[in-house]
């Protein structure tokens, strides 16, 4: 009999502690600081996940294709560049829930028919707009900057511009994964305008993006 009373008292004590902990959580952990309850962004279909000051960092890797080279008058020249690879690191800062600015560092390599390699390392600032549909995110952006280039011992620095469209799936509050496709415009201006050339490229990459 005494043992039954002992266990009853222990159960009452545990139950009281549990109620106390729940009350404390409701007052402190269950609100966002102004008395309103916390609601998970991942329950109930609320997918408006961005606000001013949100940031993302993405790493992308994929293939780079040559769309051809044109002369100063945009007449096509012989395309002697093969498919290559590209890797990029990008940062975005949201000024509004859909508007973002940031920067990107990218590297690429491609071989030529003469078995040389073309290296292009674009460094650019970017601005973009992101569309949301449930857990899918569709950012589009324009990047503008410069691109050091190297080919067969020759080095060149030129302007660089890129237009990109992406599709991401928001896996959780910290990570999203997706695909990107971009069109590059890389001019090569020289002291002799008649020898100017314009490179056109397309990249297709896969990305992992961290949100913080």
DSSP 194: G
pTM (predicted TM-score): 0.73
- Give residue-wise pLDDT tens across range 149-200: 988 778 888 899 999 999 999 999 899 999 999 999 998 887 777 778 889 9
Domain 55-211 has CATH 2.40.160.20: yes
Query: Which of 60, 151, 58 minimizes the C-alpha distance to 112?
Result: 151
The rounded distance, in Å, linking the Cα atoms of 179 and 205 is: 6
**pLDDT < 50 regions, the chain:** 1-8, 11-12, 14-40, 42-46
Contact residues for 113 (Cβ-Cβ < 8 A; gap 6+): 80, 82
Q: Note the pLDDT of residue 27.
A: 46
Spans of all domains in the chain: 1-38, 55-211
């Amino acid at each position: 009999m005494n043992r039954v009373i002992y266990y009853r008292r222990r159960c009452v004590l545990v139950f009281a502690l549990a109620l106390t902990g729940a009350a404390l959580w409701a007052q402190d952990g269950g609100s966002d600081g102004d008395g309103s309850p916390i609601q998970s962004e991942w329950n109930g279909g609320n997918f408006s996940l961005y606000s001013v000051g949100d940031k993302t960092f993405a790493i992308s890797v994929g293939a780079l294709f040559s769309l051809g080279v044109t002369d100063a008058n945009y007449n096509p020249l012989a395309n002697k560049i093969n498919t290559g690879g590209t890797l990029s690191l990008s940062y975005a800062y949201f000024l509004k829930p859909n508007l973002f600015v940031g920067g990107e560092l990218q590297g690429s390599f491609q071989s030529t028919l003469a078995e040389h390699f073309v290296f292009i390392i674009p460094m650019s600032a970017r601005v973009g707009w992101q569309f949301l549909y449930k857990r899918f995110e569709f950012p589009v952006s324009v990047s503008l900057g410069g691109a050091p280039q190297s080919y067969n011992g020759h080095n060149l620095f030129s302007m660089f511009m890129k237009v990109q469209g992406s599709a991401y799936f928001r896996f959780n509050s910290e990570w999203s994964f997706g695909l990107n496709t971009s069109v590059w415009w890389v001019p090569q201006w020289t002291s002799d305008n008649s020898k100017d050339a314009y490179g056109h490229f397309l990249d297709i990459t896969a990305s992992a993006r961290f949100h913080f």
